[in-house]
Amino acid sequence: MPSIARVALDTPLSRLFDYRLPDSSRPLPAGTLVEVPFGRSRQVGVVLDCVDDSPVADDKLKALLRVLDDRPPVAPDILKLARFCADYYHHPLGAILAAALPPRLRAATPFQADTPWLVPTAAGLHAEPSPRARGQRALLDALKSGPLAREALRANQQMRHAATVVAAGWATWTRAVPAQDAPPATAGPRLTADQVVALDAIRPAFDRFSVHLVHGVTGSGKTELYLHMIAERLLAGRQSLVLIPEIALTPQLEGHFRTRFPGRRIIALHSGLSEKERAENWLAAPDCDVLLGTRLAVFTPLPRLGLIVVDEEHDGSYKQQDGLRYSARDVAIARGKQAGVPVVLGSATPSLESYSQALAGRYQLHTLAARAHPEARLPDIELADLRHLPQDNGLTRLAVHALADTLARGEQSLVFLNRRGYAPALYCPSCAWVAPCPHCSARLVLHRRAHRLRCHHCGFGMPIPQTCPSCGNPDLKPLGHGTQKLEETLGALLPQARIRRIDRDTMLPRAWAALGEAVHAREVDILVGTQMLAKGHDFPDMTFALILDTDGALYSPDFRATERLFAQLMQVAGRAGRADKPGRVLIQTAFPDHPLFRYLQRHDYAGYARELLAERRRLDLPPFTRQVLLRAEATTMDAALAFLQRAAANVPATPGVAVFTPTPAPMPRIANLERAQLLVQSPSRQALQTFVRDWRPRLEAHKPRVARWSLDIDPLVF
Ligand code: ADP
Ligand code: ZN
Ligand code: ZN
C-alpha cells in the first residue's frame, strides 16, 4: 500500500515534497489538503499523488501532520488547470494551487461553512408578520416558493430579516441541498437580428471547445447575448462561468442575473468578499448555476461547466501583475479546451491578440454592429485643438460651453481625465524642484484634500512641505491637473452644477453602486473621473463626454499605449447618448492629426485595429511575436543588471528565439528596489516555451543572493 504522499507546497521551487502517511491512513485522493512540517514551520499543501517509494532517505522523510478533512479535496478540474498554468507560466505548481485556493481554505485552522439554505418551517408557511415588517413579509413570501441560498440573501441585503424570521421560528437554516425545480428564466427583450445570428452560430458549438469573439459596440447587446446562452446552458443542466474585469461591477451584474434567473444559484467571487464568504462561495461553486467573478474566479471548481464568458476581454485587469502573472482570459481559454466547452470573449474593442486570432480564423468572429435600442445612435466625436484654443486651468472655452449647454438642457456630462489626485506634481517656480518619491523614480502626487503628497507606485505619503526643501521658497505650486483639481475648476466655472468625482481613491463596490443610483436619480450633473468611467454602467442621460489630456499615450514608448487609449476612448464615447438622446464627445488634444482620432471619429475599430496590426507586423511585435520578460529587482541597479547579464549569457541555444540586452525598467526604482528587465521573443510560442523550460532551471541554479527575479510570460506592462 502506498505509504508516501507527494505534496505541492507554496514555495518558489518547482518540485513536490514527500511525506510519510500516518500508519493507519489509506491513500489520500489527489487534491487532499494536508498540514505538513516544512523547515521550522508548518504549511498547508495539496496532495498530488500517493506512492510507494521516495527518493528521500527513510530517516529524512518526515510524517505529514494532519489531513484537513473539514474541507473537500481540490477538484480534478482545478488540479488539471493548475498543471496547465505551471507548464505555461513556468511557475511552481504549489504556488499556483495556493493562489487558486481562497486564503481561508489554505489556513490550517478548522473551517466550518455556514449552513447554506434557508427553508420555511411549517409555522412559517402560515405566519402573519406585522404589516409594517415589510422586509420580513417579502422574505417569507419568497420562501413560500422555494428555499433561498445564503449568498442570494446576502446579495439582496436580506440577512437581517433572515435572522428575525429564524428567531421567530418561521424558517430554519439547513445544509441539505433542496430538490427544487427552478422557475424558467424571465423573458428578456427580443433578440436583434445580429444577436440571433451570433447565437445561432455559437449554439452548434455548445458541446465542444471553440473560441468566439463577440465584437459589439457598447450597448449593442453583448450582455443580453450572454444571458441567452447561459439560459440555454442552464436548461441542459450546465454551469456557466462569467468573468468580468472590475470588482465594482459585480453587484450590478449579479443583480441583473438574479432577476433574470430566479431560483437559480448565482455565486459571485472576487477579492472584495470577506475571507469567509470567499471560502463559502468557493465551496458552494460546484452546486451553483452561474459563477460570476473577477480574474481569480477562473480557478473555481465547476464540475458541470458548459460555457465560459470573458466580458471586456481586452481589459488589462485580467492580467495579474505579481506572483503568478497569469492572464485570466488565456487561462479561461485553456480551461475551455480542457473541459471541451465554448469560450465566448466579448468586447467593443477587442485586444489585438484576440482580434488577430479572429481575423486568422482561429476564433469565430461575431459582430454586433448596431446598438440594441433602435433609436440609439453613436455619438459625434469632435476635437478641440489645444495648439490654437486658449485654456483656463486646462479647459478650453469650447469644452466649458459644451458643459454649460448640456447643463442648461438638464442633461448629464462626463469628464474623463486619467490622473487621480489634485495635481501630478508639486513644483517650486524659483528653483524648479519637483517633489520626488524618496523610494521610487517617480514624482509625488499632490492630494490637496488629504493635505498630503502621495506616491502612486509604492504608497509612500508625507505632509505637504511649507517651503521648498531645496531653496526655501515658501510659494510651492501644483503642476498640471488631476481629477481633484479638475473638480475644483469645474465647480468655479459652473457653480450651479452638481459635480461628483470618481476614481480609484473613492471607488469601492458599494460607493460605485450608490453613484450609479445617484446618476440615475439625476442627482449628478457632471461626473468627473479616471478610467473607471470607461467601465460598465449605463447612464441614459449622459449626453456629453469631455476627454482631457490623453496626448501622453499618443507618443508613448509603450507599444501598446495607442491600442489602450483607443479602447478607452471608444469605451468613454460609448457612455455618451446610449438611449434615445444623441451623444456628443469632445476630445482636447494638441495632435488632432493623429490617425487614432480619424478612426475614432468614424467609430471604426476594425480599421484602426488593422492599421495597428500592420505596424506590429512590420516591427515584429505581439501578437506576431510572443514575448517573455525576465524581471530582476535588487538594492542596486548594478546587481539587477549583473544578474540579467549572467542569465542572458547562459541561455539554451534555440533557433528563432531572440534574447535582447538587459535594460533598466521604464520605472527603474519602486519602493527602494532597482528594477531591470530582459526581453526574450520569438515568432513561435512553441519555440519560446521550449526555451523557457530549459532556461528556468538554469536561473534557479544561479541562486543570486542579491537579486529577486521573476518570469513574465506574455507581459502586458513593461
Ligand atoms: P453591451 O453589453 O453590449 O453593452 P447590453 O446587453 O448591456 O449591451 O445592452 C445595452 C442595452 O440594450 C441594455 O439596456 C439592454 O437591455 C438593451 N438591449 C439588449 N438587447 C436588446 C434587444 N434585443 N432588444 C432591445 N433592447 C436590448
Ligand atoms: Zn525651490
Ligand atoms: Zn514611491
Q: Is the CB of 219 under 6 A from ligand 1?
A: yes
Query: What are the pLDDT digits (tens) for 191-230?
Result: 999 999 999 999 999 999 999 999 998 888 999 999 999 9
- Residue 443 C-alpha to ligand 3 middle, in angstroms? 8
Give the closest ligand to the alpha carbon of residue 673: 3
Task: State CA 529 to chain mean position distance.
Answer: 19
* pLDDT over 70, % of the chain: 97
Q: Is the CB of 189 under 6 A from ligand 1?
A: yes
**pLDDT at residue 663, rounded to an integer:** 96
Q: Specify the 3-state DSSP secondary structure of 42.
A: strand
Q: Is the pLDDT of residue 486 over 80?
A: yes
**pLDDT at residue 204, rounded to an integer:** 96
- Selected residue with higher pLDDT from 353 and 112: 353
Among 149-163, 491-505, 508-522, name the one with the lowest average pLDDT.
508-522
Q: List the residue whose alpha carbon is closest to atom 9 of ligand 1.
A: 221
Q: Is the CB of 281 under 6 A from ligand 1?
A: no
Q: What is the edge-to-edge ordering of all strands in the sheet holding 148-149? A: 148-149, 117-120, 171-174
Amino acid at site 180: Q
The band of 419, judged by pLDDT with boundaries at 50, 70 and 90, is: confident
Q: How many CA atoms lie within 13 A of 311 on its CB side?
A: 24
CB 234 within 8 A of CB 257: no
Q: List the residue whose alpha carbon is closest to atom 19 of ligand 1.
A: 221
End-to-end CA distance of the chain: 51
Q: Is the pLDDT of residue 516 over 90?
A: no
Cα distance between residue 691 and residue 671, in whole Å: 32
Q: Is the pLDDT of residue 505 over 60?
A: no
Q: Which atom of ligand 1 is nearest to the CA of 191?
A: 23
Q: Is the pLDDT of residue 326 over 60?
A: yes
Q: Is the pLDDT of residue 343 over 60?
A: yes
Task: State CA 144 to chain mean position distance.
Answer: 38
Among 53-57, 188-192, 526-530, name the one with the lowest average pLDDT.
53-57
Q: Specify the 3-state DSSP secondary structure of 459.
A: coil
- Residue 3 C-alpha to ligand 3 middle, in angstroms? 51
- Selected residue with higher pLDDT from 122 and 631: 631
**pLDDT at residue 506, rounded to an integer:** 58
**pLDDT at residue 28, rounded to an integer:** 92
Alpha carbon dihedral 669, 670, 675, 680, in 10-degree steps, equals -120
- Selected residue with higher pLDDT from 210 and 372: 210
**pLDDT at residue 47, rounded to an integer:** 97
> What value does the mean pLDDT take over residues 77-100?
96
- Residue 531 C-alpha to ligand 1 middle, in angstroms? 22
For the chain, give the longest Cα–Cα distance.
84
**pLDDT at residue 141, rounded to an integer:** 87
Query: 649: which residues sit within 8 A by CB, 6+ positions away?
Result: none
Three-point CA angle 710, 715, 717, nearest 5°: 100
Q: Which atom of ligand 1 is nearest to the CA of 311?
A: 2
Q: Is the pLDDT of residue 557 over 80?
A: yes
CB 629 within 8 A of CB 641: no
Query: What are the pLDDT digits (tens) for 656-682?
Result: 999 999 999 999 999 999 999 999 999
Query: What are the pLDDT digits (tens) for 34-79?
Result: 999 999 999 999 999 999 888 888 888 999 999 999 999 999 999 9
- Selected residue with higher pLDDT from 156 and 280: 280
Which of 223, 311, 344, 520 to mutate to test ligand 1, by most ligand atoms within 8 A of the CB atom? 223
Q: Is the CB of 190 under 6 A from ligand 1?
A: yes
- Residue 434 C-alpha to ligand 2 middle, in angstroms? 8
- Give the residue among 367, 364, 366 at the shortest CA–CA distance from 211: 364
Tell me if the bond preceding 697 is cis, omega within 30° of 0: no
Q: Is the CB of 216 under 6 A from ligand 1?
A: yes
Q: Is the pLDDT of residue 507 over 70?
A: no
**pLDDT at residue 540, rounded to an integer:** 73
Query: What are the pLDDT digits (tens) for 7-18?
Result: 999 998 888 999
- Residue 426 C-alpha to ligand 2 middle, in angstroms? 11
Average pLDDT, the chain: 91
- Selected residue with higher pLDDT from 574 and 545: 545
Q: Is the CB of 536 under 6 A from ligand 1?
A: no
Cα distance between residue 318 and residue 326, in whole Å: 8
How many other CB atoms sit within 10 Å of the CB of residue 391? 14
- Selected residue with higher pLDDT from 217 and 562: 562
Cα distance between residue 199 and residue 427, in whole Å: 56
* pLDDT over 90, % of the chain: 71
> What value does the mean pLDDT take over residues 10-35?
90
Query: What are the pLDDT digits (tens) for 160-172?
Result: 999 999 998 999 9
- Residue 433 C-alpha to ligand 2 middle, in angstroms? 5
506: exposed, middle or buried (C-beta count within 10 Å: 0-12, 13-18, 19+)? middle
Q: Is the CB of 192 under 6 A from ligand 1?
A: yes
Residue-by-residue DSSP string for 185-253? PPP-PPPPHHHHHHHHHHGGGTTS-EEEEEEE-TTSSHHHHHHHHHHHHHHTT-EEEEE-S-GGGHHHH
Backbone angles phi and psi of 61, in degrees to 5:
-75, 125
Give the closest ligand to the alpha carbon of residue 473: 2
Q: Is the CB of 12 under 6 A from ligand 1?
A: no
- Give the residue among 261, 200, 255 at the shortest CA–CA distance from 230: 261
Q: Which residues pair with 461 in a beta bridge?
A: 454
* Helical axes 605-618 vs 561-574, angle rounded to 10°: 170
CB 176 within 8 A of CB 142: no
Backbone angles phi and psi of 287, in degrees to 5:
-95, 0
| H or E, element range at 541 | none
Q: Is the CB of 4 under 6 A from ligand 1?
A: no
Cα distance between residue 72 and residue 85, in whole Å: 22
Query: 419: which residues sit within 8 A by CB, 6+ positions away?
Result: 480, 481, 482, 483, 530, 549
Q: List the residue whose alpha carbon is closest to atom 23 of ligand 1.
A: 191
Cα distance between residue 303 and residue 189, in whole Å: 31
Q: Considering the entire predicted model, what is its pTM?
A: 0.93
Cα distance between residue 670 and residue 437, in whole Å: 9
